[in-house]
A and B are shown apart, each in its own frame.
Chain A
Amino acid sequence: MMVRWLWPLLVLGFILHPAQAQEQTLTLLTHDSFNVSEEVLAAFEAETGITVQILRSGDAGTMVNQAVLSKSNPLGDVLFGVDNTFLGRALDADLFVPYESPLLEQIPDVFRLDPENRVTPVDYGDVCLNYDKAYFEKAELPLPESLSDLTKPEYKGLLVVQNPATSSPGLAFLLATVAVFGETGDYTYMDFWADLVANDVLVTEGWEDAYFGQFTAGGGDGTRPLVVSYASSPPFTVDEKTGEAATASIVADMTCFRQIEFVGILAGTPRLEAAQQFVDFMLSPAFQEDVPLQMYVFPVHPEAALPEMFVQFAQLPEVPVVMDFDRINADREKWIQAWTEIVLRS
Chain B
Amino acid sequence: MRLERLVGRRLVLAPIVFLAIFFVYPLVSILIVSLAPQGQIDLTGFVTLVTSNYYRQTLWFTFWQAAVSTLLTLALALPGAYVFARFSFPGKSVLLALATLPFLLPTVVVAAAFSALVGPRGVLNQWLMDSLQLTSPPVELERTLAIILIVHVFYNYAVALRIISTYWLNVNLRLEESARVLGAYGWRLWWDVRLPLLRPAILAAAALVFVFTFTSFGVVLILGGPRFATLEVEIYRQTAHLFNLPMAAALSLVQMAVMFAMMSLYTRLQRRLALERVPAEQTLRRPRTPLQYGIITLNLVLMAVLLFAPLAALVGRSFSAGGQFTLTYYQMLATNPRGSVLFVPPLQAVTNSLVFAVLTTGLAISLGAIAAHWLARRASRWTAWLDSLFMLPLATSAVTLGFGYIIALDRPPLNLRTSPALIVAAHTLVALPFVMRSVLPALRSITPSIQESARVLGASSWQVWRLIDLPLISRSLVTGAIFAFTVSLGEFGASLFVARPNTPTMPIVIYRLLGQPGPANYGQALAMSTLLLAAACAAFLLIERVRRANGSEF
Contacts and interface: CB of A to CB of B under 8 A. Distances in A.
Interface of A: 1-2, 5-6, 8-9, 12-13, 16-18, 29, 32-39, 41, 53-59, 61-62, 65-66, 68-70, 73, 75-76, 89, 163, 165-166, 202-209, 211-213, 218-223, 229-230, 233, 236-237, 246, 293-294, 296, 333, 336, 343-345
A54 B340 CA distance: 13
Nearest to B8: A1
Contacts of B406: 66, 69-70, 75
Contacts of B514: 208, 212
Interface string B505-524: 00000011011111111110
A188 B10 CA distance: 67
Most buried by B among A54, A59, A233, A336: A54
Given A16-B421, A65-B403, A236-B516, A163 B226 contact: yes
17 contacts: A1-B6, A12-B424, A16-B419, A17-B420, A34-B342, A36-B341, A37-B339, A57-B498, A68-B243, A211-B517, A219-B520, A219-B521, A221-B112, A236-B520, A236-B521, A293-B338, A294-B340
Most buried by B among A5, A17, A56: A5
A59 B243 CA distance: 13
Interface stretch (B11-19, B64-72, B185-193, B383-391): B11-19
Given A75-B499, A211-B517, A213-B222, A6 B14 contact: yes
Interface string B270-288: 0000000000000000000
Interface stretch (B114-122, B197-205, B303-311, B457-465): B114-122
A205 B241 CA distance: 12
A57 B523 CA distance: 25
Contacts of B222: 204-206, 209, 213
B373 interface: no
Contacts of A62: 240, 399, 497
Nearest to A89: B243
Interface residues of chain A: helix, strand, loop or mixed (majority): mixed
Contact of B11 (A1, A206, A218): A1
B111 A209 contact: yes
Given A205-B226, A336-B242, 4 more contacts: A18-B419, A56-B499, A75-B406, A229-B517
Contacts of A55: 418, 499-501
A66 B221 CA distance: 23
A8 B14 CA distance: 11
Given A62-B240, A213-B222, A294-B338, A223 B121 contact: yes
Query: How many interface residues does chain B have, given as a range?
Result: 35 or more
Interface string B102-134: 000000100110011001111000000000000
Contact of A17 (B342, B419, B498, B518): B419
Given A61-B240, A205-B221, A69 B403 contact: yes
A204 B226 contact: yes
Nearest to B137: A223
A165 B502 CA distance: 29
Given A16-B420, A70-B407, A213-B108, A219 B341 contact: no
B517 A237 contact: yes
A41 B500 CA distance: 19
Given A5-B14, A205-B221, A13 B108 contact: no
Contacts of B112: 212-213, 220-221
A221 B116 contact: yes
Contacts of B244: 333
B500 A2 contact: no
B243 A65 contact: yes
A168 to B, nearest CB: 9
Interface in B380-424: 399, 403, 406-407, 410-411, 416-421, 424
